[in-house]
Amino acid sequence: QVHLVESGGGLVQAGGSLRLSCAASGRSFGSYAMGWFRQAPGKEREFVSAVNWSGGSTYYADSVKGRFTISRDNAKNTGYLQMNSLKPEDTGDYYCAVITKLGDYTWESRDEYDYWGQGTQVTVSS
C-alpha cells in the first residue's frame, strides 16, 4: 500500500509559478515510477508528466513541455512538479500517482497507475 498526499496548489496569475509536492508513505516509493495528472472541470483526467524510479527519465505532455519540470527526491519519499509560465488552461485538480508493477508503460495511461493521491487544486487567473 502506498499513500500519496499532494500539496502546493493555489491561485496564481497567468505567467506565474507553482511547485507541487507529492509526499509518499508506505512501501518503497523509490522503487516506483511516478506521474502527475490533472483534471479540469468537466473534462477527463489527463496526463501531465512522469518520471521513472531513479529520476533519470522524464516524460511530458506536449502542452506542458518547456514549462513544467518533474523531479523526485527518493531520500525524502517526495516527488515534485515545478510549473512555470502558467496559463489559464493549466487550471485543474492535480494528482500524483505511482506505478508499482514491473513492465513497459506508455506513462500516459491512467490505468497503469496503481495508487493515487487526493489531488491539489491549481487555479490560474488571466
The model's pLDDT over 24-77, given as tens digits with 9 standing for 90+, comes to 997 688 889 999 999 999 999 999 999 999 999 999 999 999 999 999 999 999
**pLDDT average, residue stretch 113-118:** 96
Contacts of 47 (CB under 8 A, 6+ apart): 35, 37, 61, 107, 108, 109, 110
Contact assessment for residue 45 and residue 39, using Cβ atoms and an 8 Å cutoff: yes
Tens digit of each residue's pLDDT (9 = 90 or more) over 62-103: 999 999 999 999 999 999 999 999 999 999 999 999 999 888
pLDDT score at 30: 87
Contact assessment for residue 34 and residue 105, using Cβ atoms and an 8 Å cutoff: no
C-alpha cell at 124: 490560474
